[in-house]
Structure 1
Amino acid sequence: MKSGRIITYSFSFSVRLIFSIGNYFSFFAQSVAAYLFSSALSSVGLLWLIRGIASILLIPIGGLVTDRYNRKRIILTTDLISGMLTLSFFFLTTDNQFWLLPLLAFSTQAVHRLYDPAVKASFKQISYPTPLKKSGAVLFSASFQL
């Protein structure tokens, strides 16, 4: 029983680490794209403001969704949506970047705010009862929260 939980914990840790790295590379790429398309730092600031608004609006909704629905399904769905959103950056051009880039920024932040509570809530299902605090510190330190 213990080895199964260790494998599950290691897998969960790896998946969260990979998702977090990909998510922050996506945020970096959005900021670089905003600057390259407009040559103004104000567009980067506006993009970060849009992501902040998405976070404020969707953090409570992410908690409600996590409490009501299957966490595993939420994690898999948000991973799939995040991948599709990342691939949609290939469609950015100078003609459509004014509406598509803010939409992608809002959407990726919204997906992250639905993913994060589901992962944090599913943590107690894979950890041992006694070293919960130690394993939680390791898992959450890998999330690289802003």
Structure 2
Amino acid sequence: MGLRERINTALKTAMKEKDSARLGTLRLINAAIKDQDIARRGGEDDTGVSDADILSILGKMTKQRQESVRAYEEGGRLDLAERERQEVAIIEEFLPKQLSDDEVEAAIDAAIADVEATSIRDMGKIMGQLKQKYTGQMDFGTVGPKVKAKLG
């Protein structure tokens, strides 16, 4: 079952169970996916959003909510921070398991070896390969500096 189908099944289940918090988050996910579908219409790639694209969307949604949690906590709005945390938990149900630090390091080393990288100029190739294989499984904002450190 594809990611889109899993999300729609979860949405239907939440409707039946009258779980309004979960239902709201799942509707936000669906809306983000449909926005991307609409953005791709009429272009050369009219196939819609792939599972990799959905993972990217979910990753962005998770990151946005984690930033909101920090902002709400700094502002003393713990009730809003908790609601954002609940949304993150629901979104993460559809993301693959995050790689540990050791697994990330091993993936970086493997990508460097595969690309036969010798300098910082090869960073784009390495990041491209990592994104292709590990979308949704690692935070590329922290991976970039690690790759740069290994090459530099």
Structure 2 length normalisation: TM-score?
0.31
Max Rg structure: 2
Higher helix proportion (structure 1 or 2): 1
The structure with higher relative contact order (CA 8 Å, sep 6+) is: 1
